[in-house]
Amino acid sequence: MKILYFAWLRERLNRGEEEVSPPSDVATVADLIDWLASRDEAFALATQKRSLIKAAVDEKLVAHTAPVAGARVVALFPPMTGG
């Protein structure tokens, strides 16, 4: 599974993407964020306030309750500020 990071989350993690293989009990976006936080202190700190982390699974914007099973790409990023 490929994870993409954008904006200040990308900057704080010092990477724009990474390949991960979460265990099978990682069912939702929320689970994935928990699992990524458990293995990386910088990630845990940057995502402490979960309401500031938005997610997309396979190029569709989703809630943290959305499933990630079988996902090709999960993107994590701050609230959007375009326009």
Partner 1 sequence: MVVRVSTAPFDPGAETNAFLAAGRGAGAAVTFTGVVRSSPDDPIIALTLECYPELAINQLASSIDQATSRFGLLAATVIHRYGRLTPGEPIVHVMTLAPHREAAFKGAEFLMDYLKTDAPFWKQETGPDGTHWVEAKAEDDAAKARWE
- Residues in contact with partner 1 by CB under 8 A are 4, 6-8, 10, 56, 59-61, 75, 77-83
Write the single-letter amino acid at 62: V
Min. distance of Cβ 73 from partner 1 in angstroms?
Answer: 9
**CB nearer to partner 1: pick between 39 and 80:** 80
**CB nearer to partner 1: pick between 24 and 51:** 51
Min. distance of Cβ 23 from partner 1 in angstroms?
Answer: 26
Encode 23-79 in three state secondary structure: CCCCCEHHHHHHHHHHCCHHHHHHCCCHHHCEEEECCEEECCCCECCCCCEEEEECC
